Structure 1
């Protein structure tokens, strides 16, 4: 039976924040995971934990400067926005040969402006947040611009305060006093004549004449409701490409932990793309992009490889999705496949292809991948995007992937992002659960401490046995630390994770 083995660290406090750049305002708790089952990690990320390599951490939400809320996209309900469809079409144009492969140096410069290497820690795809307002407008019932820019209306329906509109109203009133009351004088080149019936297309006229003839013959034809064009999904954009493509894009899924032969064969190329990305997009120095650091961050994983009877064919665990364009590696998505979701860890690409907006494209392909995983394993329904940080404008872009939910930091229940925005606008840290009586249903009881499994001198024992075993020894009973640990991981995980002592 697979088991998770972890070491817990007390609160990591007063360190530099990679988002607001303040030197000593970031707080979090941490765990080093020697090994972890995918089920245990699923439970942890649902309580606000994330991993960076084998290090797992959870922000101290009510204290840290930039609260980080776990965000997930409901992949099965996802509909691409207009701007996201443009990204898909842009890549398709390249593949059919309508767009060149050699972008100008100016391409994508706006997206990379202001990027920072300190934003690397356990974030998913990285594209700008300027599309967030557009997504809000697309999925809300009101047009924010109309509300913001509206002016008082007079009885005629024209805007008050516009001198041009007022003059036209006066002219129309004067003309109306001369013209017959049944008709309106229409100025030239101002649109269709309201006194005449709207023009009909020839096809409609032919249809009406045919219906009249059938009616004369005593044949009654029921009206046909107009057909609505089916809204395109991600899969439609991916599958609509012709067979005779000028360029070939192939996405390969390779397991990284334990390292598969496919990963080992492409490790050098993957690291080279990572170095280009970090140095160009995040202005990192070469000593921060070394191969050992790259592997610690994006290759090493505590997740155990698992294959289940009703699980996905590739199994659960940690993978790289490699994007190969005409045999050249141009981008890599680092993902975890878990029992309920596909979790994005990081995404990096060759800056030469920045004009393709590959960060957004990679996220869309990962959502499509999540949906394909659902067809194999119905329990997989969500696409986890890491953390949503409303106090950092550059990190709001994750809200563009609609619909998405945030986890409440107090009850760990999920709520639609759009309902959470007003609370986050009022305060960076907020209890997102509107029910004041709602509680954390996974909160441990005092008696649960006795059933925490512990690794002691090569043997596993419950805490109640460990207390007797370690009686009288120095620092044997760190009860307060154990209580803190169990509250952070939850009662279920506290009884499942084996804690090293």
Structure 2
């Protein structure tokens, strides 16, 4: 049977904040995990914990300068925004060999921000970006909506009139407006004004009628159907110039695939940290890279109802024509895919790989859900509303935030008004709601302790050892932070 073995650090000292850069204002509790089951880690992140390598930490929300709220995206309900679709389209154009994709994004003011304390900052573009024309269906499947869109392109020239006629029509409109007194509203004698899109649709139908096509048989099933992330990913033409391959390799324990690619992976990481984050080369050593993004306490687990790859820690490698250009560090857990970090070759910054990688990971979460129905969320780490640069995670809609007091999930859109008032907030609107995983006094006695290689209960340990009030307070604090459920299962190392 697999067991989680941890060491808890009760100190709550202040450290320099990685977001607002204030000294001694970042408070958190820490725990070193020698080993951990994926079920135990799932319970911990649902109480606000996260891991960096084998070190797990939980921010002290009501003390830290920039409160960090656990955020998850409801992957099954996710809808890509216009800017996110634009990222997918641009990447596909790049694979197709279109030279315009080699240029930097047009809006140079929207530069990517980075923060060494969190996952790679995902780039995003304004919601005012132009809408993309959907790809047409096969010729035998006539879709009236696609025909209308194609007709839009040629109608603009047909609708042009001489400048003199435009001026005359403008004067006539002004005269008509003067005839209608203020407050009278539109002239009831005239037919309602039709929208340009409706007029183009009617013209298209008339043209089809003239050609003898029965418009009642046209396929309108996709009239209101939005393209999903997977549709954009899979819509590549057959004659692509560049081939993209996304490989999933297990890192803990190290798989042969990881061992064969560790050199290339570290090189991409080194470039990313020194160029994007401006880290000094001496801080980006191979050993620190392994401790940060390769070592993991999560145990490899397989089950009949789990994904074929199993649960645990992985790297998703993005290979472009045989060259590694990006890596997504993820944990596959019973209920979610948890993003740990994302880094890429700075040479490809123009492809907005941070956003592209997140969208691919959402699609991957959906794929795993089709195999494991319980796995349906994409965890993005922490959402820091008080740090403007960290609000980008809210662009992945719909998302939920974890209440730091009751540990229940609430829609991000409902939480933002509260966070606008104060950085730290109880997100649960029900004042009578409580933390149902809060340990009772009797439950704390059954915390398993590892003492000199033997597992005993805390109750038994207290009877044999007098550690004093300080040790008892530490045990109480530990059980409250991890929750009653985890406190009974995690084996706590005691000196």
With normalisation by structure 1, the TM-score equals: 0.81
Whole-Å Cα distance in 1 between the matches of residues 200 and 318 of structure 2?
53
Alignment of 1:455-470 (within 5 A): 455-470=450-465
Whole-Å Cα distance in 2 between the matches of residues 223 and 112 of structure 1?
45
Indicate how the Cα distance of structure 1 residues 7 and 226 shifts in structure 2: closer, same or farther if over 3 A, else same: closer
Secondary structure at 1:11 match in 2: coil
Instruction: Determine if contact 1:256/1:299 at 8 Å carries over to the other structure.
Output: yes
Can you give the 5+ residue segments of structure 2 that lack an aligned partner in the other structure? Answer: 130-170
Answering whether residue 410 of structure 2 is matched by residue 415 of structure 1, we say: yes
Whole-Å Cα distance in 2 between the matches of residues 102 and 392 of structure 1?
31
1:276 is displaced (CA, Å) by: 0.6
* Aligned equivalent of 1:230: 225
Instruction: Determine if contact 1:453/1:463 at 8 Å carries over to the other structure.
Output: yes
Whole-Å Cα distance in 2 between the matches of residues 497 and 13 of structure 1?
24
Instruction: Determine if contact 2:70/2:382 at 8 Å carries over to the other structure.
Output: yes
Q: CA offsets, 1:104-158, max 9 Å, x none?
A: 6x9897565653xxx333x334224665x879xxxxxxxxxxxxxxxxxxxxxxx
Instruction: Determine if contact 1:4/1:496 at 8 Å carries over to the other structure.
Output: yes
1:226 is displaced (CA, Å) by: 8.1
Indicate how the Cα distance of structure 1 residues 53 and 112 shifts in structure 2: closer, same or farther if over 3 A, else same: farther
Q: Which of residues 481, 484, 495 in structure 2 aligns to 1:491?
A: 484
* Aligned equivalent of 1:269: 264
* Aligned equivalent of 2:116: 120
* Aligned equivalent of 1:479: 472
Greater Cα shift, 345-354 or 231-240: 231-240
Answering whether residue 49 of structure 2 is matched by residue 42 of structure 1, we say: no
Whole-Å Cα distance in 2 between the matches of residues 87 and 313 of structure 1?
30
Q: CA offsets, 1:228-253, max 9 Å, x none?
A: 14210011111121232110000000
1:477 is displaced (CA, Å) by: 6.8
* Aligned equivalent of 1:278: 273
Q: CA offsets, 1:333-375, max 9 Å, x none?
A: 0000000000000000001000000000000000000011111
Whole-Å Cα distance in 1 between the matches of residues 25 and 180 of structure 2?
70
Instruction: Determine if contact 2:244/2:318 at 8 Å carries over to the other structure.
Output: yes
Indicate how the Cα distance of structure 1 residues 327 and 480 shifts in structure 2: closer, same or farther if over 3 A, else same: same
1:15 is displaced (CA, Å) by: 1.1
Secondary structure at 1:73 match in 2: strand
Q: Which of residues 320, 324, 327 in structure 1 aligns to 2:319?
A: 324
Secondary structure at 1:308 match in 2: coil
Can you give the 5+ residue segments of structure 1 that lack an aligned partner in the other structure? Answer: 136-166, 186-190, 215-220
Whole-Å Cα distance in 1 between the matches of residues 187 and 280 of structure 2?
78
* Aligned equivalent of 2:385: 390
With normalisation by structure 2, the TM-score equals: 0.82
Secondary structure at 2:14 match in 1: strand
Indicate how the Cα distance of structure 1 residues 125 and 76 shifts in structure 2: closer, same or farther if over 3 A, else same: farther
Whole-Å Cα distance in 1 between the matches of residues 288 and 220 of structure 2?
61
* Aligned equivalent of 1:259: 254
* Aligned equivalent of 1:64: 64
Alignment of 1:177-196 (within 5 A): none
Instruction: Determine if contact 1:451/1:462 at 8 Å carries over to the other structure.
Output: yes
* Aligned equivalent of 1:373: 368
Whole-Å Cα distance in 2 between the matches of residues 202 and 347 of structure 1?
47
Indicate how the Cα distance of structure 1 residues 486 and 261 shifts in structure 2: closer, same or farther if over 3 A, else same: same
Instruction: Determine if contact 2:80/2:396 at 8 Å carries over to the other structure.
Output: yes
* Aligned equivalent of 1:204: 206
Secondary structure at 2:87 match in 1: helix
* Aligned equivalent of 1:94: 94
Secondary structure at 2:99 match in 1: coil
Greater Cα shift, 462-471 or 92-101: 92-101
Indicate how the Cα distance of structure 1 residues 58 and 134 shifts in structure 2: closer, same or farther if over 3 A, else same: farther
Whole-Å Cα distance in 2 between the matches of residues 134 and 478 of structure 1?
57
* Aligned equivalent of 1:140: none
* Aligned equivalent of 1:157: none
Answering whether residue 352 of structure 2 is matched by residue 350 of structure 1, we say: no
